[in-house]
Amino acid sequence: MSEEFKRIKRELVAKGHIFDYYHDTMQIPNGNIAVWDFIEHKGAAAVVPVREDGKLLMVRQYRNALERYTIEIPAGGLNPGEPTDKAALRELEEEAGYHCETAEFLLSIRTTVAFCNEKIDIYVARDLVPGPQHLDEDEYIKVEAYSVEELLDMIYQGKLQDSKTVCAVLAYARKY
């Protein structure tokens, strides 16, 4: 018996701005045929903004899928051909209203490996220069500052659940 999986067919079900949704017809190692959902994501970048006092800047925004506000690190999708470090700094300016010249790579995550290929590269930004937010028409974002300890407590109390933010805070706390 072969240990290989073979894609027989990929059918586009829906095309979106952030991702495309497909049905993949797969032959699995035991010879059976299965139809799996697959979401092809355009890629994303995120940033951990660190103020001079050591506090991390977070964005509070409403998330329709959860029907509530969340606390997250600034993040967003990639523009075509955009490097992830530049996208992270662009999102820092747009969402948090801060400028930074360079970003240090922290880690990459895959958000939902069972059915989506989304990859988020996460960076750390220091030497922040405040400025105006550049929000999209449908965005309402409040910027808040937290100590690493406060964010760790929020993670372990189940109050902070966004996966990219949890990963970023834990990695930042471990590295710095």
137 is catalytic: yes
Q: Which of 67, 101, 137, 149 is catalytic?
A: 137
Taking the CA of residue 173 as centre, how many other CA atoms within 13 Å lie in the half-sphere pointing to its CB?
15
Helix (H) or strand (E) holding 152: helix 148-156
Q: What is the DSSP string of 40-106?
A: EE--EEEEEEB-TTSPEEEEEEEETTTTEEEEE--EEEPPTT--HHHHHHHHIIIII-EE-S-EEEE
- Cα distances from 64 to residues 61, 69, 81, 138, 157, in angstroms, run 10, 9, 28, 12, 22
Q: Which residues are catalytic?
A: 137
